[in-house]
Amino acid sequence: MRELEEASNEGHRSSDGEVTEPTEDAIPEAEPTSMHNNPNQDANSQAKLGATSGRKQTEREDNLAGAEKKSDNKITYEIRKKPTNSIVLENFNSHEAVNGNKDDKAPFDMVKSEATYLEWLELESRLFPVRYYREQHTKAQQKYNIVRVLGQGGFGLVLLVNVEKGGPLYAMKVMSKEKIKEKKMIKYIIGERRALSAVHHPLIMSLIDKLKDNSNVYIIMPFIECGDLFRLMLSTRLKRFSYEEAKFYVAQVLLAFEYLHKMRVVYRDLKPENLMLDRSGYVQLADLGFAKLLDANRERTYSTLGTPDYMAPEIFSAKNCGYSFSVDWWTTGCLLYEFMVGFPPFHTPDGNTMNVIKKIMTSEVQFPNFIKPDAKDLVSCLCQKNPHKRLGCQKTGAAAIREHPFFQDIDFVRVFHRQLPAPHKPTSKDDKTFYTGRPVPKNVIKISRTMRFNTMFKEF
């Protein structure tokens, strides 16, 4: 099993041994259900391009007066406007520095050097809470045409949609209110929606739109048509990336995590499947279902969750000690190793979760002979079992990782602006090498005639 989630009082063990208990911040994985004419389906927490073989993906209110299904493949949403949220922007000294940016986002073009990159991060850290906590409003009625079924994950269907025929394509997650209520997941779905609304980074997927109707809530995101890095890695001759390719992709993960940590967000679910490849050949960090905004006064969380092959040792003692951003740097080391070797450093042949955990807790990383010394050193520093000694966890944070010899020839400003040549770049904007869609079943989405759970989903 790829996913492991644990939480407080009401737990159950699935048939394959996976422990699933709802926690203060865990998002349990649902059993797969049929997509045909079932109104009670959640959607997978990100727009994955179909199901990933052998790897399960774990897994959020615009002001809508209602929704009416106009045809089998079209949904129309009636939108009711509300007053603007009353957050006082004057509390954030950086607000004026945005020079009238109505979106309250620090402009990417201010990043011209490492110094201005750090200034940009600081500015974003002041504006991020504004975007995270304010309500998002759709300005006008919007129609989405359902083009294809992209896939079905733990929470249900992900659909390929557009607004106009031949127009830009988007990925739409469809999540049943009833299912969310049954699993007591309402605040987690809202948390994911807030995070997607707030992130502003060239290497992290963000929200396009959010909708709700009588029966479902919907998240609309960019359609990343070239698949994830796991599929890309398997498509190579050696089923792994070269040294330079691994460096290129991990450099982007490093910048994405540096941003999230500056925003006080711990990600907790890094793996190749959550890195989507766009048309430029750069990655988009996807799936914020496990991401959590930490309290500024505590910056600790206590839930045991994640994908076992990538989980840091401190997560397994989280109920006693808790953990923080350190777990993301551990998974970065695991990811780099997997890119270069073809499988995670603590993977076991039998795939048994308990054996994987035991190996994480007791074994050191073993390297093949072909791994270069600087790559070996970086993985070892990131997969340091003591989080206080782990690279990236000291006062200098991510800067210490950027300065490691492994990245000595990487210009991170150019990475931020996506200016370095990509090793794998689709040949055309319509390249769907890693995308497998299915025709749309009749009545793929069912909508009740009456509004359900309106109060519960007020903040979506």
User: Could you tell me the CATH number of the domain that includes residue 277?
Assistant: 1.10.510.10
Do residues 201 and 235 share a domain? Answer: no
* Predicted local distance difference test score (pLDDT) of residue 249: 99
Residue 124 lies in a domain: no
Instruction: Specify if 72 maps to a domain.
Output: yes
Domain boundary among 194, 222, 250: 222
Per-residue pLDDT tens digits for 340-393 = 999 999 999 998 999 999 999 999 999 999 999 999 999 999 999 999 999 999
Q: Please provide the average confidence, as pLDDT, over all residues in the chain.
A: 78
pTM of the predicted structure, to 2 decimals: 0.77
Same domain membership, residue 371 and residue 313: yes
Are 216 and 237 contained in the same domain? no
Domain assignment of residue 63, yes or no:
yes
pLDDT tens digits, 62-100: 333 333 333 344 443 333 333 333 332 333 333 333 333
At 313 the pLDDT is 96
**138: pLDDT confidence band, cut at 50, 70 and 90?**
low
The model's confidence at residue 453, banded by pLDDT at 50, 70 and 90, is confident
Which domain CATH number covers 155?
Answer: 3.30.200.20
Q: How confident is the model at residue 22 (pLDDT cuts 50, 70, 90)?
A: very low
* pLDDT tens digits, one per residue of 148-171: 888 876 666 889 999 988 889 999
Residue 180 domain-assigned? yes
pLDDT at residue 166, rounded to an integer: 84
Domain coverage including residue 48: 29-81+137-222
242 compared with 26, residue with greater pLDDT: 242
* Residues 365 and 285 reside in one and the same domain: yes
| Structure confidence at residue 317 (pLDDT) | 86
Same-domain check for residues 144 and 241: no
Distances (CA, A) of 254 to 173, 261, 285, 331, 428: 27, 10, 11, 11, 28
Range name among 182-186, 218-222, 289-293 with the lowest pLDDT average: 182-186
Q: Find which of 131-145, 284-298, 425-439 is predicted with most confidence, using mean pLDDT.
A: 284-298
Q: Are residues 299 and 389 in the same domain?
A: yes
- Please report the pLDDT score of residue 140 as a whole number: 55
Say what the pLDDT of residue 189 is: 84
Same domain, 314 and 196: no
269 is catalytic: yes
Q: What's the average model confidence in pLDDT over 118-126?
A: 97
C-alpha 194 chain-centroid distance: 13
> Is pLDDT of 111 > 70?
yes
Say whether pLDDT at 199 is over 60: yes
Choose the final residue of a domain: 168, 202, 222. Answer: 222
Q: Look at the block and give the residue holding tokens 């679910």.
A: 269
Structure tokens at 36: 């045909």
Residue in 25, 62, 104, 269 annotated catalytic: 269
Sorting pLDDT into bands at 50, 70 and 90, what band is 251? Answer: very high
Average pLDDT over residues 186-196: 86
Residues 152 and 239 in one domain: no
Higher pLDDT pick, 211 / 444: 211
Residue at 330: amino acid letter: W
Domains: count for the chain: 2
**Residues 151, 218: one domain?**
yes
Residue 115 falls inside a structural domain: no
Are both 333 and 205 inside the same structural domain? Answer: no
The tens digit of pLDDT for each residue in 202-217 reads 999 999 999 888 888 8
Can you read off the two tokens belonging to residue 407? 């990245």
For the chain, the first-to-last Cα distance in angstroms comes to 31
Q: Judge if 161 and 295 occupy the same domain.
A: no
Please give the backbone phi and psi of residue 63, each rounded to the nearest 5 degrees, phi first.
Answer: -90, 85
Q: What is the pLDDT of residue 102?
A: 53
CA distance 252 to 280: 13
Select from 382, 401, 416 the last residue of a domain.
Answer: 416
370 in a structural domain? yes
**Does residue 306 surpass a pLDDT of 50?**
yes
Distance, CA of 103 to CA of 86 (rounded, Å): 15
pLDDT at 47: 34
Q: Give the span between the Cα atoms of 426 and 430, in whole angstroms.
A: 9
* Domain assignment present for 436: no
Q: Is residue 409 part of a domain?
A: yes
Regarding predicted confidence, which is higher, 279 or 81? Answer: 279
Task: Count other C-beta atoms under 10 Å from residue 112's C-beta.
Answer: 12
pLDDT at 9 over 80: no
| Of 198, 222, 229, nearest in space to 291 by CA | 198
Q: Does residue 165 share a domain with residue 311?
A: no
Across the range 182-197, mean pLDDT stands at 86
